[in-house]
Structure 1
Amino acid sequence: MEKILFGVAKQWIAGNTIDDALSAGQNSYKNGMGVIINKLGEYHTSKNLIENTISEYKTVMESFRKWKVSGAISVKPTQIGLMKSKKECLMNFEALINSATKSQSFVWIDMESSDHTDETIQIYENLLARYERLGIAIQANLLRSEGDLADLLSIGGKIRLVKGAYREDSNVAFKSKQKVDQNYLRLMSILFESGNEFGIATHDGAMISSAVALAKKYEKKFEFQMLRGIRDELKPVLIKKGFSLSEYIPYGTNWLPYSIRRLKERKRNILLLGSSFLQQKAKPLGI
């Protein structure tokens, strides 16, 4: 079963090494896309593992210019110390920010399960006062996200809007696809009305079409963000229309938990993977 899943997962995972990720990123950049690189792994408690993760992210950022890539990194707080303490995680993010400053790289802070939402936002608010090229993910499936979004926009936060991939209880999250989609559209409208420099991270045709329509009404700096290997038939269409687009490129050996979440996140993802894998034409969008 694991071999079968890996055969599917390798469509969006660049490989095991930094060079695999940068090579994939170089290909994305040649095709007119920005690059967001994520080292797979989460919930680290080992000092060596945390230090190695930080070191690899630094190497990625230092290598962007050499590989001629316009790139960013995306970091999970539990990768770099949040499981030990918020203080340690903040200190480790500060080390990454120092490296990002030298290379002028953008840093995205990933959002994980709702158990970590408060601490993740607190870390982001602390760091944003010192480094502007910093963004945070907001999950449309969480009931609290509209309030979080308003608070973050009030301090100039840069947002990546995602649907959310973690299994949550009904007291903290919308459970139906319809309600998650409705909230995604509501939060996206708020971003276009009140935000700037944000990412619309989705493969959902309806969400993309709505973003295109909102972009005609509001002149905002934003980009679409999609996983490597998914909706490849649509990406050049959006770029040709003048939209910015970045590919999210995961790499590393710890691919199994991430891949299972991607497939469980929405049944639609399985269909999109199959469509992309077979290189079939997607249903036309209103763009």
Structure 2
Amino acid sequence: MASGTHVMEKILFGVAKRWIAGNTIDDALSAAKISYKNGMSVIINKLGEYHTSNQAIQNTISEYKTIISSFRRWNVCGGISVKPTQIGLSKSMRECLQNFQSIIRSASLSQTFVWIDMESSDHTDKTIEIYQSIFSKYERLGVALQANLKRTENDLSDLLTIGAKIRLVKGAYREDSKIAYKSKEQIDANYEKLMKTLFEKGNEFGIATHDLRLIEKAKSHSREHQRKFEFQMLRGIMDSIKPDLVRDGFSLAEYIPYGTNWLPYSIRRLKERKRNILLLGSAFVSKY
């Protein structure tokens, strides 16, 4: 059983290398430099979540600060994306907020953009509360909202009243049908509705999707509404269309995760994208 698990993990890692830069900060920055040479900015995320040990939390904060201070030296245009539970939310709201403020103090020295990742619905209220608290002091701050959650339309409306910067994602966490849309058709329809709202009422936002139909919709909206926005895509996913978007004058950021905690993240990515599950299956067949 153990050997079977080991084999599956090896195959998963082979697939995960498409979007994960490696284990270290230098791996992430090396990948970021390639992205920048190809006309893209980057959003770097250290993998790992639900930290409760002080050492893990402080190591994570320290690594984000190192990344922030390294962008200029590596000649990269980039920002970071932080999960609240990796810097203390699993312990207390107060500790998480203090740690975010510490990261923001470092980011403010170079005006680095910071994104707050959205995790499962258990944390949505607190994540938005953290965002609102910090955004009043540091404007180069954005928060992710998930189109699969039924509450997101109201959250978006509320956040836009304060000029919030939004990254719109579909959502990769397993949620109850009482609070979340479950079918692809429902999620896509809600994403499209929320995206339309962003183009009509928002500014400086991220359209984070690999869905070609939604990308074309965003391009169409951009011709009608002159907004500052960027497409955001995972490193290693839909690479074939990225040069065209850059050539057409659209801003594009590659989301670059790194770190040793790649397995839970990769499983979410595989569940989110049937295409990656097929890739995993073909890798298994060809290798064994």
Q: Aligning the two structures, in what range does the TM-score lie when normalised by the shorter sequence? A: over 0.9
Displacement of 1:135 in angstroms is: 0.1
Q: What is the aligned partner in structure 1 of residue 20 from structure 2?
A: 13
Q: How many pairs were matched up?
A: 275
Q: Contact between 1:263 and 1:269, CA under 8 Å: does it hold in 2?
A: yes
Determine if the alignment matches structure 1 residue 62 to structure 2 residue 54.
no
Give 5+ residue unaligned stretches, structure 2: 1-7, 282-288
Q: What is the aligned partner in structure 2 of residue 44 from structure 1?
A: 51
| Cα pair distance change 1:273/1:99, threshold 3 Å | farther
Determine if the alignment matches structure 1 residue 28 to structure 2 residue 35.
yes
User: What is the TM-score with the length of structure 2 in the denominator?
Assistant: 0.94
Determine if the alignment matches structure 1 residue 93 to structure 2 residue 104.
no
1:159 aligned counterpart, secondary structure? strand
- Partners in 1 of 2:30 and 2:277 — Cα distance? 26
Q: Contact between 2:11 and 2:280, CA under 8 Å: does it hold in 1?
A: no
Q: What is the aligned partner in structure 1 of residue 228 from structure 2?
A: 221
Deviations 1:39-85 (Å, cap 9, x if unpaired)? 00000000000000000000000000000001100000000000001
Q: What is the aligned partner in structure 2 of residue 111 from structure 1?
A: 118
Q: What is the aligned partner in structure 1 of residue 262 from structure 2?
A: 255
- Partners in 1 of 2:44 and 2:279 — Cα distance? 21
User: What is the TM-score with the length of structure 1 in the denominator?
Assistant: 0.94
Match of 1:181 among 188, 195, 202: 188
- Partners in 1 of 2:204 and 2:236 — Cα distance? 24
2:233 aligned counterpart, secondary structure? strand
Q: What is the aligned partner in structure 1 of residue 109 from structure 2?
A: 102
- Partners in 2 of 1:236 and 1:273 — Cα distance? 26
Displacement of 1:266 in angstroms is: 3.4
Displacement of 1:103 in angstroms is: 1.7
- Partners in 2 of 1:240 and 1:164 — Cα distance? 28
- Partners in 2 of 1:70 and 1:146 — Cα distance? 31
Look up the equivalent residue of 2:91 and give its one-letter code: K
Determine if the alignment matches structure 1 residue 4 to structure 2 residue 11.
yes
- Partners in 2 of 1:99 and 1:72 — Cα distance? 12
Identity of aligned residues (%): 72
Displacement of 1:121 in angstroms is: 0.1
- Partners in 2 of 1:235 and 1:267 — Cα distance? 20
- Partners in 2 of 1:160 and 1:13 — Cα distance? 20
Q: Could you tell which deviates more after superposition, 107-116 or 260-269?
A: 260-269
Q: Contact between 1:231 and 1:272, CA under 8 Å: does it hold in 2?
A: no
- Partners in 2 of 1:269 and 1:218 — Cα distance? 34
Q: What is the aligned partner in structure 2 of residue 72 from structure 1?
A: 79
Q: What is the aligned partner in structure 2 of residue 123 from structure 1?
A: 130
Q: What is the aligned partner in structure 1 of residue 237 from structure 2?
A: 230
Q: What is the aligned partner in structure 1 of residue 249 from structure 2?
A: 242
Give 5+ residue unaligned stretches, structure 1: 275-287
- Partners in 1 of 2:157 and 2:178 — Cα distance? 21
Displacement of 1:164 in angstroms is: 0.0
- Partners in 2 of 1:268 and 1:168 — Cα distance? 21
Q: Could you tell which deviates more after superposition, 35-44 or 260-269?
A: 260-269
Displacement of 1:265 in angstroms is: 1.6
RMSD of the TM alignment (CA)? 1.4
Look up the equivalent residue of 2:149 and give its one-letter code: L
- Partners in 1 of 2:94 and 2:130 — Cα distance? 9
Q: What is the aligned partner in structure 2 of residue 282 from structure 1?
A: none
Determine if the alignment matches structure 1 residue 196 to structure 2 residue 203.
yes
Q: What is the aligned partner in structure 2 of residue 205 from structure 1?
A: 212
Q: What is the aligned partner in structure 2 of residue 284 from structure 1?
A: none
Deviations 1:207-264 (Å, cap 9, x if unpaired)? 1010011011110000000000011110000011110000000000000000000011
1:108 aligned counterpart, secondary structure? strand
